[in-house]
Amino acid sequence: MTQSRPRWFTEHGDGHADSYIERFRRLAAEGSDLAGEARFMDTLLPRKARVLDAGSGTGRISGELHARGHVVVGVDVDPALVDAAGQDHPGPRYVVADLATLDLDEEPFDAALLAGNVLIFVAPDSEPDVLARVAAHVRPDGVVVTGFGTDRGYPIDAFDRHCAAAGLVLEHRFATWDLRPWRADASFAVTVLRRPPAAG
Ligand SMILES: C[S@@+](CC[C@H](N)C(=O)[O-])C[C@H]1O[C@@H](n2cnc3c(N)ncnc32)[C@H](O)[C@@H]1O
């Protein structure tokens, strides 16, 4: 188990959370489309699904999934972001926790989402733990969806090995959230993984 801190904290200066929160407030005020990942998720989900937004940030995706009738728990390691999510996107429940050691006392989720480069911002070498802990919170036959830049230090082949080790089966991969086809030289990967159904 890794002991180091998420890159989210070590690669940015003080006040990063504030500027990040402000950036998303400004984009929302300008009417930018901040819901693409939530629309993608919604197509995969049964109605009133239970969704884990892993690395929920400002809550933009949690809030949109909640508005679509899903029951959402957002988890993030940064307390400032969890505060902002509760203010800006009320409805989901937001929890401060590290995904690498996640242990929620919760009924299993129908789906989990790690969007917006969460896997780039976790602690170095903690990706296998993060994927395993997120997968452990999803019910058999439930989905895990990830989106991250493939040229930012976490190679896609390492990711695929870590997913397999976490018991997740690759179902689909795209180059964008609006389903541009995957290519080996794509700089972003959206991946849909599934836990195998329960035996018997
Ligand atoms: C670029 S933000 C994306 C936020 C959100 N998913 C979105 O797309 O709007 C990356 C997020 O990952 C969170 N994060 C990084 N490492 C984490 C960890 N070990 N556990 C929980 N959250 C983590 C950061 O705090 C930050 O909110």
55 within a domain of the structure (yes/no): yes
Contact 140, 107 (CB under 8 A): no
Do the domain assignments include residue 126? yes
Count of domains observed in the chain: 1
DSSP state of 157: H
φ/ψ of residue 173, rounded to 5:
-140, 135
- Rounded CA separation 186/107 (Å): 36
Domain that holds residue 110: 7-194
Residue 78 within a domain: yes
Q: Which protein residue's CA is at the shortest distance from atom 26 of ligand 1?
A: 57
pLDDT in tens, 100-122: 999 999 999 999 999 999 999 99
d(CA 26, CA 94): 22
Q: Is residue 136 part of a domain?
A: yes
pTM over 0.85: yes
Q: Is residue 199 part of a domain?
A: no
Instruction: Tell me, yes or no, whether 200 lies in a domain.
Output: no
C-alpha to C-alpha distance for 184 and 192, rounded to whole angstroms = 16
- The CA distance from 123 to 98, in Å, is 10
Question: Is the CB–ligand 1 distance for residue 116 below 6 Å?
Answer: yes
pLDDT of 3? 61
Q: How far is the CA of 125 from the centre of ligand 1 (A)?
A: 16
Is 161 within the bounds of a domain? yes
Is 46 contained in some domain?
Answer: yes
Q: The domain spanning residue 166 has which CATH number?
A: 3.40.50.150
Residues forming a β-bridge with 53: 74, 113
Strand 169-174 versus strand 188-194 pairing type: antiparallel
Spacing, Cα 59 to ligand 1 middle (Å): 10
* DSSP structure string for 88-130: HS-SSEEEE--GGG----SPPEEEEEE-TTHHHHSPTT-HHHH
Neighbouring CB atoms inside 10 A of 169's CB total 12
Q: What is the pLDDT of residues 156-168, one digit of tens each?
A: 999 999 999 999 9
Question: What digits encode the pLDDT tens for the residues 49-72?
Answer: 999 999 999 999 999 999 999 999
